[in-house]
Amino acid sequence: MTHVIITGGSSGIGLAVASIYAARGARLSLVARSRDLLEQAAQKLVAEHGLEAGAVRMEAADVSKGEEIEAAIFRCVDAFGPCDVLVTSAGVVEPAPFEAMQGAAFHRQMETNFSGTVHAVRAVYPDMKERRSGHILMVSSGAGLIGIYGYTAYCASKFALSGFAQALRSEARVHNIGVSICFPPDTETPQFERELAARPAEASVIMGTVRPWTAEAVARKIVKGIDRQRFEIYFGATLFLLGRFGPAVRPIIDWWFDRSIARNSGL
């Protein structure tokens, strides 16, 4: 039976991915900071898919703390066996202009979004390598493909994931380990609602023109990408073009962004 470990699995994209694997009869381990949200997520999965009691394991842990997340994942492996699929969906976004962003907020986004992914991967990679089996899916963002006003820390953390994923893919493929990275657009999640309240007006001029995806739609594309062993998973034509032809099209997009921001700010 497939064992799927999902960080950030208590809500949003992580929970939607868990629901797909639950329907397939996989063993699920959900890791998140809030025990209450984890329990709600587990109850939802059990009710919707008729799972047996104990079919969903919950571990409250902060991915930014290496020893804490590794210990949590090790407990999941002890309970359900080796990890077959790791999905690193835990993340945080706190938009603000760079000069207005507190250093702690910048650090928190880097440590959660980038280092948190590295910590989780480190916990499962050696065993996957020994077994010559497994798949790792990292959740980046459309903001990991182009810089966005007010998102210096978030963009930096998500761009960093691309370099990590590319290098890890090169190392992992000879050990029969799959590596994927996905770049979701704005997605309807509880965190997205909090993000909108803090999003600078200059960013809304650009990002507010695109309708957000549902977490379920994003999750279906993620799982399909894992099934097909795709390295990069994009959502929509714009993000695909940015991912594949970024250096060529980015100057045009930057020009449009700059023009739109200046026009709406009266500069």
Note the pLDDT tens digit of each residue in 155-178: 999 999 999 999 999 999 999 999
Region 243-261: what's the mean pLDDT?
A: 79
Q: Which of 149, 154, 221, 234 is catalytic?
A: 154
For 204, phi then psi, to 5°, come to: -65, -30
For residue 140, indicate whether it is catalytic.
Answer: yes
The string of pLDDT tens digits covering residues 117-169 is 999 999 999 999 999 999 999 999 999 999 999 999 999 999 999 999 999 99
Q: Are strands 85-88 and 56-60 parallel, antiparallel or unpaired?
A: unpaired
Domain that holds residue 69: 3-265
* pTM assigned to the model: 0.93
Q: Please pick, among 115, 140, 157, 180, the residue that the annotation labels catalytic.
A: 140
Is residue 154 flagged as an active site residue?
yes
Q: How many CB atoms lie within 10 A of CB 65?
A: 16
d(CA 141, CA 185): 6
- Whether 246 has a pLDDT exceeding 90, the answer reads no
Contact by Cβ (8 Å): 31, 9: yes
- For residue 102, pLDDT over 80 is answered with yes
Q: What is the mean pLDDT of residues 88-102?
A: 95
CB 46 within 8 A of CB 53: yes
| Burial 156-184, CB ≥16 within 10 A → b, else e | bbbbbbbebbeebbeebeeeebbbbbbbb
CA-based end-to-end distance of the chain: 59
**Closest by Cα among 48, 26, 28 to 38:** 28
Catalytic hit among 115, 158, 180, 221: 158
**Cβ atoms within 10 A of the Cβ of 122, count?**
13
- Cα–chain center distance at 2: 20
Give the number of domains in the chain. 1
Instruction: Indicate which CATH number applies to the domain containing 40.
Output: 3.40.50.720
What's the mean pLDDT in 182-190? 92
